Structures are given as C-alpha cells and as structure tokens.
C-alpha cells in the first residue's frame, strides 16, 4: 500500500489529492481497507514520505524545482505565481520576470526560500523560465504619434509601451486617441512590445470611449455569434403545454420576486406559508434555464465561454441572449414560468426538518423592488393595501422574521458578513453620471440573501450526503479556503494600530474574525478594516472538490440560485435532474473529467467580470469627479505607499491619491511598520484609516486617476480603549 501511494503521487508531483481520491486511485473499496489506508497515510506524513500540502490534501514529498502557474504582476513590477498544490504563491522579483506579463501561464524555477521585501515571513522565490501561454493577444491604450513613429501606452500600467508597426494605418488618427493594438512581438530582449493597430476607439478621456476601451480590454461584447442567435430565434416564444408534465404546480401559491429597481432578469422568487403545526414552509423558486439551454448546443458553449453576466452602471453584458435572460426565463409578474424549486420545512428554531428539490411551475404574484418591499414592511402603503394581494405584507413579515433568525444562527456558527459599501449612479439622457448615492442595505436585501444562502446550502448538502466511492456524484461546489496564516498575522498587526487586539495564536476561526468586524462596525475605520480583512482572505472559487466555505462557515455550499447569470448554477440544475433519474458509469466518468474544467473556467470568468466592473465603475467615478475640481471633500486614507496616500471619498467612494510631491509642508517618509507617512521635521503622521479633508486637484480621465491635495487633517480616531478578541 505504501508503494502504491508513493507511485501514484510520483506520477503527478505538482498535484494534490484528497485521501479518498488516493484510495480510489490505488483500488481500495472497503471501509476496513480505507481505515488502514488512512492510518498508513498519516504515518507516511509523519515520516516525511508524503506531504500534507494544505488542510485535507496530500501530495508528493518530492517537491519539483520547476513549477507552472499563473503570473500576477503588481504595479511595483514584481509578481506572484499561483501554483496549484502550493500553500502560498511564489514570489517573482522584477529582475526575474523575463518577458512574462500579467496573467500569463508561466514555467518557473524555484530559488532558495527568501523573505519577501514587504513581509518578514519566508516565502519561496522563483524565476520565470518561459511563457507557456499568453493571457493577452491585444492591448488597449493611448497612441502617441511623432513623425513616422507611433507608440501605444497601455491603459493597464503593468504593461510596457507598444511600438506600432503599421503606422500607415493611422491616417486620420491623432495623438491622444484610444486604440486596440494586436501584439506581434513580445519584446524578447527589448524594453518594448511591438504590434499592429487593429481598431480606433475615439478620443481618450471621453466617457463612451473609456467604457468601450474597458470592454475591448476584457474582450466583452453584448453581441452573440450567428449560430447562437439562430438557436435563440428557433426557441418558441411560449411554454409548450407538455413542458408542465411531471412538474410541481405551484401557480396557486403566493410567490413573488424582490429585486433591484432596474432589474430585468428575475431568476428567483420566494414563497412562505405557516403550516397549522407552526412549521414554516419556505419556497425558493429558481428559473429553469436548463430547460432551454441544453448541453452540447451553441447556446451552451457561448454561456460557458462568457461564464457570467457582467453588470455596469449603465448596461449589462448578459451571459444569455435577451430573449432568454429578460423574457422566457425571467420570472415576470403574472406569467407562467418553468422553475426549479427548493421547498423547505423549517422548525421554530430555523432547522430544516425536511426538503424537496424538484422541477416546478410558478406564476409570480408581484414584482417588488427591495425599496418597495421595505416600505411595505415599515408602512404598508395604500397602493399595496388596495390590491387583492393583501397577504403580501403578512408573507413579508413572516419572511423578515425568518431571515433574521437564519442570519443570527449563521453568524453564531461563525459566518462572516463583509459589509462593503457600494454606490449607485444617477445617469443623464446622454448616459453620463449626474449624481450618485451609497446603496442602503435594507432588511429586504438580507431577507433574499438568507433564503438564497439556505437554498444553496441545502442543494450542496443534498449532493454531499449521497456521495460514496461507488456512486460518486461529480458536482461543482462553491468553496472558500482558510486564510493564509501570514496574512491573518498582518491583519492583527494592522488593527492594533487602531487599538484593537486580535488574538491569532494557533490560527483564527471565522467566528473570531466576525467578532472583530462586529466591533469596528460604525466606526471611522470600518471600511478600511473591512477592506484589509477581505484582502487577507482566500478567494472563493468553484471547484469539484468540496473543502467547505470558510467565510460562510458552511461544510457544503454551491451556487444554484442564479442560472440566468452564472454558468455553474445552470450546470447544477442539469446535474440535479440527471442524478434524480440515475446516470451510467460512463456518464459519471465523463462528468468527472468535464466538471473540473467548467469550475476552473467559471472561476476565471468571475475574476474577469469583477475586474471589468471595477474598471467601468472607476470610469464613471472619474467622470463624475470632473465637475468637483477645486471642491473640498472628506475621505479616509485607504492605502499608503512610498510615493503617497490613496484617499477614498466618503460620499462617492471614488479613490484618488495625494502624491508626496504635493505635500509641501514637510519631507514625508514611508513607515511600513505602521502603515503610514511621517514628516521628517514635524513628526506629523498619516496612517491607514485616518480621516482627512482634501481638495480635488486634478482629474485624468484617460488614466482613470484623481489627484487630491491635503486641506487639513480632520479629527483622528482616538482609540482610548483596547479591545481583546479571542479566536
């Protein structure tokens, strides 16, 4: 058995495996054999012949000196390579980057462990040997034309200049215009890339042009390929009568949707009934997209390619064509819709006593916005009281009480709630931002969130409970690994600056972290500490391996509730239907090989969507701040570097910088230990989280940058009490 284990791990020295996977691979089946295997495996870990790479995952003890992974480059020029199976990413100094760029899949050679410059913790260091796969074939930037030469400065400052080879194609194009350039040479031995301009977008700094530039940069489009458009056109506009067969008919139940005011893709509805014995029957009804989007179709392939819908202040890039996302699949008020329902009976304590997961058909009674539902709960306006659906308010009251119970239980069990602020833009007729406001998080937001969390948990647990070695059911889980211990130590050191003591001896539980967030809630440093805590967390991803969800403190979790806008949810709907009917061993093997690829693709597309949304939001914030040049505003120091301080404005959440060169009252030096800048003569200090009063100095739309000047230092938080937090 020992030899079989070593031989199996040696065949994939870069990979990690669960104990169950190793046992299955070496041919073990019985329970007694598995118990012996586990004992031997732990002995091998103790002896050093097998490596426990991270919690619950085992790998070869012989660590390869050449690894592969995705390179992430920082604005400072150094980078990190995330390697599957490695506890921490590999540090790559700028001098060892070769010609690799951000996002590239690279092969690196490991050097002896060295300390990362900005951390005391030892970390593996590597050198890029070669680029295996380029992440970008095109770049978007601003062209500078001088006589017969032209260069493009990429919008993403992590990329070098691009020398344009087809200058003759720039006839009629002026310096300062945004262009798309295809990379022809990656600068082997040269400080620049070279490429061909393939599209001109317009004048740099113009709102529409900057948005278009982001879309091109992230390769996003609202248009669908001809074969997808053709398949969509062939879908009949009504539901065939035969589609109702075998479905749970819930059209007589009081179901309704609660969504943002401007939403069009309603993919979830809820219902709640109180039974005579006091049991609460909660229904979460999700659009049955899998009825329309079948595996193997052009529609399915395009949905996988996109991975997710992308939401901008003024538009949506949908995963599915509008005929499906906004019409046939959308749970519109007063119309019959095919759904997949999770119906749960809950006790007075909030325990799920029983549940069913079944295809269904519903008819939504009302379309409510979060704000309207909140008004009904707090005031029951006449517009609702005068309608036949007077029981809407009663249902909402029961839902509010149940969601509060579920949230309290979830937090008690260690679930973490990061309450990050968001802004909503008010747009003028031309699409430009005329105003903005912070989004309020209402009780009705929590209501829907809690019900979706519970449905997702029940679905994942349902699959997890029936898994076995002989009848494994491949699945896509939403997982969140435990945080890097070194990042948690950094968080503890950071919050200490504000008078909070965060005990991380022996690691930190999600309960301990939630206690910290509860204590800073409502303080001047809440947003900053939330942001730093978020950075300390691992990223939630999709995976075929269920390692649980640290942030939610769930042993089982998946995404089931948004198949209109997330591809993993669509796949899970299909899997639930397949498993209910039974699958062949051949189909199981097919799924085992396909699902990891889907999970990886979905995780990648989610990251792209988040980055694109962040960039377009920045474009709108910068556009809005143009009219505030010279205004005095209040903000908080959200980042500190050697060259200045980042400031987040309270009202707009826009982030800009005060450059050290503009701080003329003293010579300021960077204090890395205390996350601040210190005046050499005055000893004046500026720390992360300090409130400041600034004036808007300049706005640079084409670089999406805002520069501030310091007006005066506002009242600093005075941490007179020290809070001790035990984990």
In a domain, 313, yes or no: yes
In a domain, 456, yes or no: yes
Tracing tokens 């029957």 back to the chain, one arrives at 281
Confidence of residue 302 (pLDDT cuts 50, 70, 90): very high
pLDDT tens digits, residue range 287-299?
999 999 999 999 9
pLDDT tens digits, residue range 401-459?
999 999 999 999 989 887 677 888 999 998 899 988 888 888 899 999 999 999 999 99
Lowest mean per-residue pLDDT among 382-386, 398-402, 686-690:
382-386
CATH no. for residue 100? 2.40.50.140
pLDDT tens digits, residue range 71-127?
999 877 899 998 876 667 888 988 888 889 999 999 988 875 544 444 444 568 888
Query: What are the structure tokens assigned to 704, written together?
Result: 């999406």
- The helix/strand/coil state of 647 is strand
State residue 709's pLDDT score.
94
- Pair 689, 705 in one domain: yes
- Pair 431, 348 in one domain: yes
- Pair 44, 192 in one domain: no
State residue 188's pLDDT score.
65
- Pair 245, 359 in one domain: yes
Lowest mean per-residue pLDDT among 103-107, 146-150, 322-326, 544-548:
146-150
State residue 534's pLDDT score.
82
Those residues whose C-beta lies under 8 Å from the C-beta of residue 49, and which sit 6 or more positions away, are 2, 6, 61
User: Across-strand partners of 575?
Assistant: none
Q: Give alpha helix (H) positions in 92-236.
A: 207-217, 226-234
State residue 361's pLDDT score.
97
Tell me which of 586, 614, 642 is where a domain ends.
Answer: 614
Report residue 183: phi and psi, to 5°: -80, 125
- Pair 570, 700 in one domain: no
pLDDT tens digits, residue range 597-637?
999 999 999 999 999 999 999 999 999 999 899 999 999 89
- Total domains, the chain: 5
Tracing tokens 């001088």 back to the chain, one arrives at 146
Query: What are the structure tokens assigned to 115, written together?
Result: 């300390």
In a domain, 252, yes or no: yes
Polymer length in residues for the chain: 727
Decide: 255 and 391 in contact? Cβ < 8 Å.
Answer: no
Q: Please tell me the pTM assigned to this model.
A: 0.83
State residue 27's pLDDT score.
81
pLDDT tens digits, residue range 515-539?
888 888 877 777 778 878 888 888 8
Domain that holds residue 253: 226-476+554-614
- Pair 50, 73 in one domain: no
Tell me which of 60, 84, 99 is where a domain ends.
Answer: 60
Decide: 191 and 160 in contact? Cβ < 8 Å.
Answer: yes
pLDDT tens digits, residue range 330-341?
999 999 999 999
Contacts for 210-216 with beta carbons within 8 Å, 24 or more apart?
210/178, 210/619, 210/623, 210/701, 210/702, 210/704, 211/312, 211/314, 211/616, 211/619, 212/178, 213/140, 213/155, 213/178, 214/140, 214/612, 214/615, 214/616, 214/619, 215/317, 215/612, 216/138, 216/140, 216/180
The arithmetic mean of pLDDT across residues 582-586, rounded, is 91
Tell me which of 18, 37, 60 is where a domain ends.
Answer: 60
């Amino acid at each position: 058995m020992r030899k079989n284990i070593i031989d199996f791990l040696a065949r994939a020295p870069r990979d990690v495996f669960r104990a169950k996977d190793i046992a299955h691979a070496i041919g073990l089946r019985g329970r007694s054999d598995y118990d012996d295997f586990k004992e031997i495996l732990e002995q091998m870990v103790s002896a050093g012949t097998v490596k426990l790479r991270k919690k619950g995952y085992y790998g070869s003890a012989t660590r390869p000196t050449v690894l592969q992974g995705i390179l992430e480059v920082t604005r400072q020029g150094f980078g990190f390579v995330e390697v599957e199976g490695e506890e921490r990413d590999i540090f790559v100094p700028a001098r060892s980057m070769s010609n690799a760029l951000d996002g590239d899949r690279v092969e690196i050679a490991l050097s002896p462990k060295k300390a990362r410059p900005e951390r005391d913790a030892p970390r593996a260091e590597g050198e890029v040997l070669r680029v295996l796969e380029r992440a970008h074939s095109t770049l978007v930037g601003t062209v500078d034309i001088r006589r017969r030469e032209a260069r493009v400065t990429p919008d993403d400052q992590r990329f070098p200049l691009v020398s344009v080879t087809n200058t003759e194609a720039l006839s009629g194009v002026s310096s300062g215009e945004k262009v798309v350039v295809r990379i022809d040479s990656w600068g082997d031995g040269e400080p620049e890339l070279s490429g061909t301009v393939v599209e001109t977008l317009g004048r740099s700094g113009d709102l529409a042009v900057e948005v278009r530039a982001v879309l091109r940069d992230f390769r996003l489009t609202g248009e669908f390929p001809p074969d997808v458009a053709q398949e969509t056109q062939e879908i009949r506009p009504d539901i065939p009568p035969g589609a109702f067969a075998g479905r749970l008919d819930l059209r007589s139940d009081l179901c309704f949707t609660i969504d943002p005011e401007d939403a069009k893709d309603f993919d979830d509805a809820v219902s709640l009934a109180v039974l005579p014995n006091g049991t609460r029957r909660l229904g979460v009804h999700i659009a049955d997209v899998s009825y329309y989007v079948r595996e193997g179709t052009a529609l399915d392939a395009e949905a996988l390619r996109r991975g997710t819908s992308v939401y901008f202040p003024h538009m949506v890039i949908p995963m599915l064509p509008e005929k499906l996302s906004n019409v046939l699949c959308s749970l519109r008020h007063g119309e019959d819709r095919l759904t997949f329902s999770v119906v749960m009976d809950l006790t007075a304590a909030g325990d799920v006593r029983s549940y069913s997961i079944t295809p269904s058909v519903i008819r939504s009674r009302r379309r409510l916005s979060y704000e309207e539902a909140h008004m009904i709960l707090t005031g029951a306006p006449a517009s609702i009281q005068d309608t036949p659906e007077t029981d809407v308010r009663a249902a909402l009251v029961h839902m509010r009480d149940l969601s509060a119970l579920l949230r309290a239980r979830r937090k008690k069990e260690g679930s973490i709630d990061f309450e990050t602020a968001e802004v909503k833009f008010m747009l003028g007729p031309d699409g430009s931002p005329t105003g903005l406001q912070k989004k309020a998080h209402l009780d009705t937001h929590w209501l829907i969130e809690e019900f979706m969390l519970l449905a997702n948990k029940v679905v994942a647990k349902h699959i997890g409970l029936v898994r076995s070695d002989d009848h494994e059911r491949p699945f896509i889980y939403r997982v969140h690994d435990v945080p890097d211990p070194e990042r948690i130590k950094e968080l503890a050191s950071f919050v200490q600056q504000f008078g909070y003591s965060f005990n991380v001896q022996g690691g930190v539980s999600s309960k301990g972290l939630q206690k910290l967030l509860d204590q800073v809630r409502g303080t001047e440093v809440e947003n900053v500490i939330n942001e730093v805590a978020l950075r300390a967390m691992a990223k939630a991803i999709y995976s075929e391996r269920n390692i649980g969800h640290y942030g939610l403190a769930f042993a089982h979790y998946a995404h089931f509730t948004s198949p209109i806008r997330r591809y993993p949810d669509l796949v899970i709907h299909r899997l639930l239907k397949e498993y209910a009917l039974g699958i062949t061993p051949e189909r199981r093997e097919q799924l085992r090989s396909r699902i990891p690829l889907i999970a990886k693709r979905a995780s990648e597309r989610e990251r792209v969507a988040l980055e694109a949304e962040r960039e377009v939001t920045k474009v709108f914030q910068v556009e809005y701040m143009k009219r505030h040049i010279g205004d005095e505003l209040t903000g908080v120091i959200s980042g500190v570097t050697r060259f200045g301080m980042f400031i987040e404005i309270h009202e707009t959440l826009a982030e800009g910088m005060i450059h050290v060169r503009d701080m003329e009252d003293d010579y300021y030096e960077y204090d890395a230990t205390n996350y601040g800048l210190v005046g050499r003569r005055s000893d004046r200090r500026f720390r992360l989280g300090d409130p400041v009063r600034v004036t808007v100095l300049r706005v640079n739309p084409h670089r999406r940058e805002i520069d501030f000047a310091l007006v005066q230092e506002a009242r600093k938080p005075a941490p007179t009490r020290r809070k001790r937090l035990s984990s």
